[in-house]
Amino acid sequence: MTLQSLTIRRPDDWHVHLRDGEMLERVARHTSKQFARAIIMPNLVPPVTSVDAASAYRDRIRAASGEGFEPLITAYLTDEADPAELARGFEEKIWVAAKLYPAGATTNSASGVTNIRNIYPALEKMQAIGMVLCVHGEVTDPEIDVFDREGVFIDRVLEPLVDDFPDLKIVFEHITTAEAADFVRDAPATVAATITPQHLHINRNALFAGGLRPHAYCLPVAKREHHRLAVRAAAVSGSAKFFLGTDSAPHARSAKESACGCAGIFNAPYAMESYAAVFEEEDALDRLEGFASEHGPNFYGVPLNEDRVTLERVDQIVPEEVGGLVPFHAGETLKWRFAGG
């Protein structure tokens, strides 16, 4: 018999961009509706580099997201990252992780790290205190083909990093390739990965389907079909190393539909529906709870959520716009509906 509803422990989103100001007001409740907690990415302008900025940002998110949602703030690592400041914010429970953006790799990464060696003192400190490192894993070398930047990052940066910091907890964010899925699977238990809905649903053809499709553009860019299939296999494998991170990354419509469109897909409004579709197609709905609600907290070392949410089998057409933004799956019919707790 076909499953008509699915009740699971409330999920968390281990990678999301909530932005600030008016955009934060527009998007925050889409995330807080589905998820109990979320790892909030720090790539604001200016980036979140100090404990004070992080604390103030957390207050603004709490105000925008409403009761019952816990924003988990991250620090933005620059070449000047101060180990003492990182440790202070971690001890004061203002931030739970720090984010490595290779300078120039993605949206608002201009202040990112130019050479991984520059943050070795910060990483030593993080390793010592048990603070998680989140990584945007792409090299920025213009000689490297954009579709190869994740794979080359593994060889040039990640593998040496894992060797040099055997006790540092590392999350390889938004993986998109078979190489990344294999690397994480075979790495020590200190290494995990987040997986977005879009990298489970689309391959690079989606960027060019009948014309140039800015709303399918994010970074790392979607890859060939065999990579999508490998990332799917990892997500539904049941391995505790792979967990949910939407990378919902809203940009104004005008910034997406532009001669130089911004990278980022706004998937928050139908995030769980989108993941559920994938797990059902892979005949793995029984593994959705682990991926969405258990593997992430266990890796970060925080308790599992106690409340439950239900997904119902109801067709819903995703609108062309949500709050003036174009959501992932716009115009498509999704077969599940997030019905809350």
Ligand X SMILES: NC(=O)N[C@@H](CC(=O)O)C(=O)O
Cα dist from 29 to 16, 24, 68, 207, whole Å: 12, 9, 11, 28
106 contacts ligand X (rule: CB under 6 A)? yes
* Least separation in angstroms between CB 107 and ligand X: 3
CA torsion, ordered 294, 295, 298, 300, to nearest 10 deg: -120
**19 marked as binding residue:** yes
Considering CB under 5 A, how many residues would be counted as binding Zn ion? 3
Applying CB under 6 A, among 31, 32, 43, 127 the residue interacting with ligand X is 43
Q: Decide whether 89 or 137 has the Cβ nearer to ligand X.
A: 137
Nearest alpha carbon to residue 124 among 154, 157, 84: 84
**283 marked as binding residue:** no
Q: Decide whether 179 or 280 has the Cβ nearer to Zn ion.
A: 179
Q: Which of 164, 247, 307, 315 is catalytic?
A: 247
Q: Decide whether 247 or 280 has the Cβ nearer to ligand X.
A: 247
149 contacts Zn ion (rule: CB under 5 A)? no
Beta bridge partners of residue 100, listed in sequence order: 135
26 contacts ligand X (rule: CB under 6 A)? no
Q: Is 182 a catalytic residue?
A: no
107 binds, among ligand X, Zn ion, none (CB under 5 to 8 A by kind): ligand X
Query: What are the φ/ψ torsions at residue 316 (nearest 5 degrees)?
Result: -140, 140
**285 marked as binding residue:** no
**263 marked as binding residue:** yes
17 contacts ligand X (rule: CB under 6 A)? yes
d(CA 112, CA 43): 9
Residues 193-252 that bind ligand X (CB under 6 A): 218-219, 247, 249
* Least separation in angstroms between CB 95 and ligand X: 17
Is residue 5 within 8 A of residue 309, CB to CB? The reply is no
Nearest alpha carbon to residue 218 among 235, 237, 201, 236: 201
User: What is the side-by-side order of every strand in the sheet holding 191-195?
Assistant: 13-16, 37-40, 70-76, 95-100, 132-135, 170-172, 191-195, 242-244
Taking residue 181's Cβ as centre, other Cβ atoms within 10 Å add up to 26
Q: How many CA atoms lie within 13 A of 68 on its CB side?
A: 13
263 contacts ligand X (rule: CB under 6 A)? yes
**295 marked as binding residue:** no
Residue positions forming the annotated binding site for substrate? 17-19, 43, 136, 219, 251, 263
Give contact residues for ligand X (rule: CB under 6 A): 17, 43, 106-107, 136, 218-219, 247, 249, 263-264
